[in-house]
A and B are shown apart, each in its own frame.
Chain A
Amino acid sequence: MITIKNKKPVEVLEGVVIRFVGDSGDGMQLTGTQFSDTSAMFGNDISTFPNYPAEIRAPQGSLYGVSGFQVHIGSMEVSTPGDDLDLLVAMNPAGLKTNLYAVKPGHTIIVDTNSFTKKNLEKAQYEANPLEDGSLDNYRVIEVSMTSLTKEALKDVAGLDNKSITRSKNMFALGMVYWMYHREKNHTIEFFNKKFKKKPLIIEANTKVLNAGYFFAETLELIPNSYTISPAKMEKGTYRIIMGNAATAWGLLAAAEKSGLELFLGSYPITPATDILHELVKHKHFGVKAFQAEDEIAGISSAIGASFAGDLAVTTTSGPGLALKGEALGLAMMIELPLVVVNVQRGGPSTGLPTKTEQSDLMQAMYGRNGESPVVVIAASTPANCFNYAFEAAKLALEHMTPVILLTDGYIANGSAPWKIISVKDMPEIKNNKVTEYSENWHPYTRHKDTLARDWAVPGTPGFEHRVGGLEKDSITGNVSYVPENHEKMTQLRAEKIKRVQNYIPNLETEFASEGDLLVVGWGGTYGSLHSAVKQFNGEGHKNVGFAHFNYINPLPKNTEEVLRKFKKIIVCELNSGQFINILKMNFNNLDIYQHNKVQGLPFSNGELIDQFKKLLK
């Protein structure tokens, strides 16, 4: 059972709580101490809470023989060992059973699957294996056969007895957690060298296993849950804790149901977007067709095919995948089909920092295709509103017959937050442009007069047989056309179609102040940090600092200029070198506009933002 203990509004948590649990012989205290010492040396504030049984060696596998060590690390002052866990490392079933209550829903549990034997499950009084019976569905469970991986890592170390081998598996767990939280291994390796000075074999074994765990986590690209952000005041209603990627998947499910279409996902695994695929493959009961393709290009190609055939089609990826999809995305734009492309941004360029967050794919989303090929670009800004913007992406795609890129990022995708559950019946209607009755004057590129969307004539509908393709088309018949004036006309039409989406999206809103000295501008996943910083700054005696956060980027909300011009100065804060600011500069002249950028794969901290605001108001 999960008990949601913390119903109070939570601001940005600048800390992480980790607990290592296992048999008292599993070396959990040593593991925890190593982690906290290393973190302290790394510059974190720490607070720890060891919890172990009175018996030095309680019966193996029993509930009361569980030994644990909890550590709370933070970038700001940490005054308690922490309440709820962000990460539980459970070396056996008994450890899981006795500590599960403390893990925050949606957060991570690492288990040694080798210890989940029938005998150990019985000792822990489990009737069914919790790894198999669905009771852990609300958590991110990382199953690792730690004992056998440890044995494998040590197979070439001659002269080690079996017991010493098994006992070093705690270092495998430590290695994994070091990687997840970006800790150095050196401190621990030095510790081995001192502690086991006279036992070189044990030094070698522990070092090997620590490294093996570290590299294992690296290979799997394990990501910790990012910090939780939730609104200060929560509306009445039924809530659940949801992770950003799951919210994205659910928003797409809701859009499919609302539009009456079947959902098709064509995707290829890529960190940190894969969890959307993982989530959608579960939902065959809703008729979801999730297709794991042979590569990124086939992922989007299959989605384009499904869209042509009349499904709500989606492809999900991260930066490098979007680069691969570029040409196909241009085709979808050219043949004017509805398509949702979710890009869970990560640190770039190239392979970059797969497990870190960044907002550096904005220009790629805007322009990363050959020729002039505008698409709608929107961005989610919290784990929970990934739901809303995924739904919105589908709605805009279907109603405007265009690809829509939804940008999220590793930070909100892996972050979890309370989500006020909304019933599908309360979501806005989604229309689509499907046609059923053929009339003589119909042409594939006949456009709706307001949206400029073309009709969606899907195979299986008699009378509408037609061909589309990537070659330039006549503006009405859709036949291949090399006429110079027609090409220019079509280029303008495609741009105008996207521009007109402005008439269907909400205006930009400001928080804290609607006019004044300084407007803080952000977009996408930085909402939590920016909101928190502006709030704190205004609380420190400033009154006229407003905050405007963009979810719609192409096109921009209609009132954007009006909002910007009400402030004397503007600062655009982004986790890139300044991409959105250039979009604003390109659109609006003579703004007194500044920028704050961070490209470290990390979110903003309150302190750095406030320093920037202060400088501008001097």
Chain B
Amino acid sequence: METTAEKKYTFKDFQSDQEVRWCPGCDDYVILRSMQKALPEMGVKREDVVFISGIGCSSRFPYYMNTYGVHSIHGRAPGIASGVKLANPDLSVWVVTGDGDSLAIGGNHFIHVLRRNIDLNIVMFNNEIYGLTKGQFSPTSLIGQKTKSSPYGNTQPPFSPGELALGAKARFFARIGGNVPKDITKILIEAHKFKGTSLIEVLQNCVIFNDGCFTQFTDKKIKEDKQIYLEDGKPMIFGKNRDKGLILNGLKLEVVTIGENGITEQNILVHNAKEQDPTMHQMLVRLEYPLATGIIRSFNDVTLEEREAELTAQVKANSKFTKTDDLFFSGETYEVK
């Protein structure tokens, strides 16, 4: 458990003295600002906050945060962050990563950190492209997408980060557009509160190499019709006029219009993010229309640190060893005179 800050911070307390070097217009600025605004709300002491990143545009993030941080190596941030948290469970540990960093070179660490459920938070900037190496397709790039390394179109089918995460037993998964700072801030705060590994996929527009990749969902003019922003305990309703909703038809989710064909609000599914069974969460993650955003899954489970702490306490209580000397001189020893 992190200790609570007595001092009241503002977002400025979390800005470092380093000049931010992302391309003008990049969504990364939005995420950075949202984080700097979220941290004072979390009530955590600044010295207890650690940002760990890998390699990629997103991974420059720690340099811009006035907290502890490591800009590490490609794909390995989950491993480093796990070590930080296990060494000192009082810290608030954040991994900042991208689709290439976490799903390609770091894929193995990504699935295993989710499986273990260490209490840390992963913010994945998904822009469906490699930005820092200047425009190759990534594991989330679409089939047919033309990039520097797929001039005739990408032939490798993509991962859906949420689908992969839930398959890897993620307990907390949220998805959010990169252009809605207030929602991002809100979700970051919820991720912090959640005990266990939380994954936030931010649909982040890359203005240079993949501009507009999420516009069909995130453009402010249409987003209410194209996205369903899920909230725990609330009916799955969306649309500018709040007249569209989701029902279960057989084994599929179906979009219906409230007021048509006898559908009332009573027929609409209610979102239960806390449900242990991930089946519905998987269906929501896979939904192509509307695109599910918000906190899709938030299932409370025992964390790895809790299991370890309990086991350590048990072993300590039953052990005859308190100092290494007890061990060294135990068992079969003999004297040379």
Interface of A with B (CB < 8 Å)? 2, 4, 7, 105, 137-138, 234-241, 250, 253-254, 257, 262, 264, 266, 283-287, 289, 291, 293-295, 297-311, 313, 327-328, 330-331, 335, 420-425, 458-471, 479-480
Q: Which chain B residue lies CB-closest to A480?
A: B63
Which of the residues A238, A285, A295, A298 comes within 8 Å of B319, measured between beta carbons?
A: A285
When distances are taken between beta carbons in the complex, the residues of chain A under 8 Å from B308 are 289
- Annotate B65-77 by CB proximity to A: 1 below 8 A, 0 otherwise: 1111111110010
Q: Which chain B residue lies CB-closest to A262?
A: B87
When distances are taken between beta carbons in the complex, the residues of chain A under 8 Å from B332 are 2, 4, 105, 138, 240-241
When distances are taken between beta carbons in the complex, the residues of chain B under 8 Å from A479 are 18, 63
When distances are taken between beta carbons in the complex, the residues of chain B under 8 Å from A463 are 47
Query: In the complex, A113 Cα to B281 Cα: how many Å?
Result: 45
| Interface locus among B141-149, B231-239, B262-270, B323-331 | B323-331
- Annotate B254-290 by CB proximity to A: 1 below 8 A, 0 otherwise: 0000000000000000000000000000000000000
Given contacts A301-B76, A305-B82, A305-B83, contact A239 B333 (CB under 8 A): yes
Given contacts A238-B334, A464-B47, A468-B71, contact A328 B327 (CB under 8 A): no
Query: In the complex, A7 Cα to B336 Cα: how many Å?
Result: 8
A305-B84 in contact (CB<8A): yes
Q: Which chain B residue lies CB-closest to A255?
A: B324
16 pairs, A vs B, C-beta closer than 8 Å: A7-B334, A235-B336, A238-B335, A239-B335, A240-B328, A286-B324, A286-B327, A299-B79, A300-B79, A301-B78, A304-B83, A459-B50, A459-B84, A463-B47, A464-B47, A465-B68
Given contacts A305-B87, A313-B83, contact A468 B336 (CB under 8 A): no
When distances are taken between beta carbons in the complex, the residues of chain A under 8 Å from B334 are 4, 7, 238-240
When distances are taken between beta carbons in the complex, the residues of chain B under 8 Å from A303 are 83
When distances are taken between beta carbons in the complex, the residues of chain B under 8 Å from A420 are 336
Task: Output the residue of A284, A309, A480 with the most chain B CB within 10 A.
Answer: A309
Interface residues of B in 81-108 (CB under 8 A from A): 81-88, 90-91, 108
Which of the residues A240, A313, A460 comes within 8 Å of B90, measured between beta carbons?
A: A460
Query: In the complex, A138 Cα to B315 Cα: how many Å?
Result: 20
B52-A287 in contact (CB<8A): no
Which of the residues A137, A422, A425, A459 comes within 8 Å of B68, measured between beta carbons?
A: A459
13 additional contacts (CB under 8 A) given A266-B79, A463-B47: A2-B332, A239-B333, A250-B328, A284-B311, A284-B312, A298-B112, A305-B79, A306-B87, A307-B83, A313-B83, A423-B328, A465-B47, A468-B69
When distances are taken between beta carbons in the complex, the residues of chain A under 8 Å from B63 are 467, 469, 479-480
- Asked if B10 is at the interface (CB within 8 A of a chain A CB), the reply is no
When distances are taken between beta carbons in the complex, the residues of chain B under 8 Å from A328 are 73, 76
Given contacts A469-B63, A470-B73, contact A308 B80 (CB under 8 A): yes
A238-B83 in contact (CB<8A): no
B324-A250 in contact (CB<8A): yes
Query: In the complex, A301 Cα to B333 Cα: how many Å?
Result: 38
- Asked if B8 is at the interface (CB within 8 A of a chain A CB), the reply is no
| Shortest Cβ gap from A236 to chain B (Å) | 6
| Shortest Cβ gap from B84 to chain A (Å) | 4
B68-A466 in contact (CB<8A): yes
A285-B322 in contact (CB<8A): yes
| Shortest Cβ gap from A368 to chain B (Å) | 15
When distances are taken between beta carbons in the complex, the residues of chain A under 8 Å from B76 are 297-298, 301, 328
A309-B108 in contact (CB<8A): no
Query: In the complex, A331 Cα to B70 Cα: how many Å?
Result: 10
Q: Which chain B residue lies CB-closest to A423?
A: B325
When distances are taken between beta carbons in the complex, the residues of chain B under 8 Å from A304 are 70, 72, 79-80, 83
A306-B83 in contact (CB<8A): yes
Interface residues of B in 44-70 (CB under 8 A from A): 45-52, 62-63, 65-70
B84-A309 in contact (CB<8A): yes
B87-A470 in contact (CB<8A): no
When distances are taken between beta carbons in the complex, the residues of chain A under 8 Å from B11 are none
Query: In the complex, A236 Cα to B65 Cα: how many Å?
Result: 58
A284-B316 in contact (CB<8A): yes
Q: Which chain B residue lies CB-closest to A466?
A: B68
Q: Which chain A residue lies CB-closest to B82?
A: A302
Q: Which chain B residue lies CB-closest to A470?
A: B73
Given contacts A308-B80, A309-B88, A467-B62, contact A283 B71 (CB under 8 A): no
- Asked if B22 is at the interface (CB within 8 A of a chain A CB), the reply is no
Query: In the complex, A304 Cα to B63 Cα: how many Å?
Result: 18
| Shortest Cβ gap from A181 to chain B (Å) | 26
- Annotate B212-242 by CB proximity to A: 1 below 8 A, 0 otherwise: 0000000000000000000000000000000
Query: In the complex, A402 Cα to B65 Cα: how many Å?
Result: 26
When distances are taken between beta carbons in the complex, the residues of chain B under 8 Å from A422 are 328
When distances are taken between beta carbons in the complex, the residues of chain B under 8 Å from A460 are 47-48, 88, 90-91
Which of the residues A264, A297, A459 comes within 8 Å of B91, measured between beta carbons?
A: A459
| Shortest Cβ gap from A403 to chain B (Å) | 14
Query: In the complex, A461 Cα to B50 Cα: how many Å?
Result: 12
Task: Output the residue of A308, A331, A335 with the most chain B CB within 10 A.
Answer: A308
Query: In the complex, A238 Cα to B336 Cα: how many Å?
Result: 6
Q: Which chain A residue lies CB-closest to B326?
A: A285
| Shortest Cβ gap from A371 to chain B (Å) | 13
Query: In the complex, A138 Cα to B334 Cα: how many Å?
Result: 14
A469-B62 in contact (CB<8A): yes
When distances are taken between beta carbons in the complex, the residues of chain B under 8 Å from A308 are 50, 68, 70, 80, 83-84
When distances are taken between beta carbons in the complex, the residues of chain B under 8 Å from A459 are 47-50, 68, 84, 88, 91
When distances are taken between beta carbons in the complex, the residues of chain A under 8 Å from B72 are 301, 304, 331, 469-470
Q: Which chain A residue lies CB-closest to B311?
A: A284
Q: Which chain B residue lies CB-closest to A302?
A: B83
| Shortest Cβ gap from A488 to chain B (Å) | 22
When distances are taken between beta carbons in the complex, the residues of chain B under 8 Å from A467 are 16, 51, 62-63, 65, 68-71
Query: In the complex, A308 Cα to B319 Cα: how many Å?
Result: 30
| Shortest Cβ gap from B244 to chain A (Å) | 42
Query: In the complex, A294 Cα to B106 Cα: how many Å?
Result: 11
| Shortest Cβ gap from A158 to chain B (Å) | 43
Given contacts A240-B331, A313-B83, A470-B72, contact A424 B47 (CB under 8 A): no
| Shortest Cβ gap from B70 to chain A (Å) | 6
Which of the residues B51, B108, B323, B333 comes within 8 Å of A238, measured between beta carbons?
A: B333
- Asked if B33 is at the interface (CB within 8 A of a chain A CB), the reply is no
B45-A462 in contact (CB<8A): yes
| Shortest Cβ gap from B255 to chain A (Å) | 39
A335-B18 in contact (CB<8A): no
- Asked if B109 is at the interface (CB within 8 A of a chain A CB), the reply is yes
| Shortest Cβ gap from B223 to chain A (Å) | 34
B109-A298 in contact (CB<8A): yes
When distances are taken between beta carbons in the complex, the residues of chain B under 8 Å from A295 are 108
Q: Which 5 A-B pairs have the closest CB atoms?
A: A305-B83, A301-B79, A469-B71, A302-B83, A285-B319
Interface residues of B in 235-253 (CB under 8 A from A): none
